[in-house]
Amino acid sequence: MNTQELRHSARLIWEAALNAANPATCIRKFLQLRDKVLIAGGKEIAIRGRLIVIGAGKASAKMAQIAEEILGSHISGGLIVTKYGHALPLQRMRLVEAAHPIPDAAGVRAVYETRELLRGVSEDDIVLVLISGGGSALWPAPAEGITLQEKQQTTSLLLRAGATIRELNAVRKHLSDIKGGQLARWASPARVISLIMSDVIGDPIDFIASGPTAPDTTSFSDALAIVQKYALDIPDAVRKRFHEGARGAIPDTPEPGDPVFKKVDNHVIANNRLLADAAADKARELRFNTLLLGTELEGEAKDLGLFFAAVARETARTGNPIQSPACILAAGETTVTLHGNGTGGRNQEMALAWAISVASRPFSSQACFASVATDGSDGPTSAAGGLVDPFTCSRAIELGLMPQNFLRSNDSFNFLKATEDLIITGPTQTNLMDLQILLVG
Q: Three-state SS across 332-368?
A: ECCECCCCCCCCCCHHHHHHHHHHHHHHHCCCCCCEE
Q: Is residue 208 part of a domain?
A: yes
Look up the CATH number of the domain holding residue 331: 3.40.1480.10
User: For the segment 377-403, what is each residue's pLDDT rounded down to a tens digit?
Assistant: 999 999 999 999 999 999 999 999 999
* Whether residues 174 and 151 fall in one domain: yes
Last residue of a domain, one of 271, 292, 321: 271
Residue 420, number of CB atoms within 10 A of its CB: 9
Into how many domains does the chain fold?
Answer: 2
Task: Give the up-direction half-sphere exposure of residue 427: CA atoms within 13 A in the CB hemisphere.
Answer: 15
Q: Show the domain range for 190.
A: 25-271
Q: For each of the chain's 441 residues, which pLDDT tens digit applies? A: 899 999 999 999 999 999 998 999 899 999 999 999 999 999 999 999 999 999 999 999 999 999 999 999 999 999 999 999 999 999 999 999 999 988 999 999 999 999 999 999 999 999 999 999 999 999 999 999 999 999 999 999 998 898 988 999 999 999 999 999 999 999 999 999 999 999 999 999 999 999 999 999 999 999 999 999 999 999 999 999 999 999 999 999 999 999 999 999 999 999 999 999 999 999 999 999 999 999 999 999 999 999 999 999 999 999 999 999 999 999 999 999 999 999 999 999 999 999 999 999 999 899 999 999 999 999 999 999 999 999 999 999 999 999 999 999 999 999 999 999 999 999 999 999 999 999 999
User: For the segment 230-288, what is each residue's pLDDT rounded down to a tens digit?
Assistant: 999 999 999 999 999 999 999 999 999 999 999 999 999 999 999 999 999 999 999 99
Kindly report whether the global pTM for this prediction surpasses the value 0.75.
yes
- Taken in order 265, 271, 269, 71, is the CA torsion positive or negative? positive
* Whether residues 136 and 239 fall in one domain: yes
Look up the CATH number of the domain holding residue 86: 3.40.50.10180
Q: Is residue 230 part of a domain?
A: yes
Q: Is residue 20 part of a domain?
A: no
* Whether residues 303 and 244 fall in one domain: no
* Whether residues 204 and 176 fall in one domain: yes
| Contact by Cβ (8 Å): 172, 111 | no
pLDDT attached to residue 102: 87
Q: Is residue 190 part of a domain?
A: yes
Query: Helix, strand, or coil here: 196?
Result: strand
pLDDT attached to residue 243: 97
Query: Helix, strand, or coil here: 293?
Result: strand
- Taken in order 99, 102, 105, 108, is the CA torsion positive or negative? positive
* Whether residues 334 and 257 fall in one domain: no
Q: Is residue 79 part of a domain?
A: yes
- Spell out a b/e string for 180-215, using b for 16 or more CB atoms within 10 Å of the CB, else e: bbbbbbbbbebbbbbbbbbbbbebbbbbbbbbbbbb
* Whether residues 186 and 237 fall in one domain: yes
| Contact by Cβ (8 Å): 213, 185 | no
Residue 230 CA: distances (Å) to CA of 70, 161, 218, 224, 241: 46, 7, 18, 10, 18
* Whether residues 180 and 314 fall in one domain: no
pLDDT attached to residue 165: 86
* Whether residues 294 and 398 fall in one domain: yes
* Whether residues 279 and 415 fall in one domain: yes
* Whether residues 258 and 402 fall in one domain: no
* Whether residues 311 and 411 fall in one domain: yes
Last residue of a domain, one of 243, 271, 299: 271
- Residue 234 DSSP symbol: -
Note the maximum CA span of the chain: 68
Full 3-state SS string of 130-191: EECCCHHHHCCCECCCCCHHHHHHHHHHHHHHCCCHHHHHHHHHCCECCCCCHHHHHHCCCE
C-alpha span between 121 and 263 (Å, rounded): 13
Among 309, 394, 403, smallest CA distance to 354 is for 309
* Whether residues 223 and 122 fall in one domain: yes
